Amino acid sequence: MGSLNLKSVRKAFGNHEVLKGIDLEVKDGEFVIFVGPSGCGKSTLLRVIAGLEDATSGSVQIDGQEVINTPPAKRGIAMVFQSYALYPHLTVKDNMGLGLKQMGAPKTEVEAKVAKASGMLSLEPYLARRPAELSGGQRQRVAIGRAIVREPKLFLFDEPLSNLDAALRVNTRLEIARLHRSLKATMIYVTHDQVEAMTLADKIVVLNAGQIEQIGSPMELYNKPANTFVGGFIGSPQMNFIEAGRLGDKEAKSVGIRPEHIALSRENGDWKGKVIHVEHLGADTILYLETEVTGLLTVRLFGEHKYDVDDVVYATPDKASMHRFGADDRVLR
């Protein structure tokens, strides 16, 4: 009902190539997240799928149908924008119903669908209001409602949470996850926030400089990063990268180890070092060490730990969780 197939999609603005050949397959009902640093082309890719930007070359198929020459309204998609993009002069109800009305749906059908969507998002009390009379979170729910009403094959989300404050962001995130479960619709979601990506996605697509670095489930990306970029991008605090030569490894160029995969002891261990900074977060304690072997090293301990600056400690990595990367920054298996 809602699959998506991209084949070598390229997009250039003048001489500047933003998308350098994207191949991607999204199955029906999947929640796929495009994640990457700013300027990596993730929003442009979403716009190409929506039909708001023309691809320079390549093919976009929705449900097996080539849509590269189809206008956005006829692609069977709905989009939720970062800035909500509600029509300021229409009420919540008219905002949600406009798309259907434009398609020529009968009035009763529009009413019914708007009522259903507003029920799902608990928007009933606000149906007669204009967007200006709503809070940020409510506006974003209306924008999501507007997408639901269209019953699209494909939901597209363009950084929908970045304009909300932290508490609201978590709530809306839950709401989107719940919505995906109940609608069983295909969703494509763009974000630069790896927490959103890890918590919502069935499948994450990591983009960098207009290319796909890796596609996989959140845990695949966490446990088996394909290259140093994905290793560094997924996980917080960032993965430690150590020059392989320092560890006596002649084959690899660098070795990556996540901060949470390092054990710490005051008595003995592999790498002796000194604490240079400590962050107490309650649930975690994050230490920054300067060790003789590896240089700067971030260590994440769970729970509270009494370490002070200038304490001498020994760090021991979990050998099974080390990632070895070759000269081309790709992982060595």
Partner 1 sequence: MSKARISPLRSGFVHLALAGYTVIALFPVVLTIVNSLKDKNAIFRAPLALPTVETFSLIGYTTVLKQGDFIGYFQNSLIVTVVSIFFALLFGAMAAFALSEYRFRGNTMLGLYLAIGIMIPIRLGTVAILQGMVAAGLVNTLTALILVYTAQGLPLAIFILSEFMRTVSDDLKNAGRIDGLSEYAIFFRLVLPLVRPAMATVAVFTMIPIWNDLWFPLILAPGEATKTVTLGSQVFIGQFVTNWNAVLAALSLAIFPVLVLYVIFSRQLIRGITAGAVK
Positions that interact with partner 1 (CB under 8 A): 47, 50, 52, 71-74, 77-79, 81-89, 98-99, 102-103, 131-132, 146, 150, 158
**Shortest approach of partner 1 to residue 73 CB, angstroms?**
3
**Shortest approach of partner 1 to residue 330 CB, angstroms?**
37
**Closer residue to partner 1 in complex, CB, 103/128:** 103
Query: Is 301:313 a contact under the CB 8 Å cutoff?
Result: no
**Closer residue to partner 1 in complex, CB, 161/262:** 161
**Closer residue to partner 1 in complex, CB, 145/317:** 145
Tell me the CB-side half-sphere exposure of residue 187, using CA atoms within 13 A: 27
**Shortest approach of partner 1 to residue 68 CB, angstroms?**
16
**Shortest approach of partner 1 to residue 108 CB, angstroms?**
19
**Closer residue to partner 1 in complex, CB, 77/197:** 77
Query: Is 120:175 a contact under the CB 8 Å cutoff?
Result: no
**Closer residue to partner 1 in complex, CB, 144/247:** 144
**Closer residue to partner 1 in complex, CB, 23/54:** 54
Neighbours of 89 (CB within 10 A): 10
**Shortest approach of partner 1 to residue 140 CB, angstroms?**
12
**Shortest approach of partner 1 to residue 40 CB, angstroms?**
20
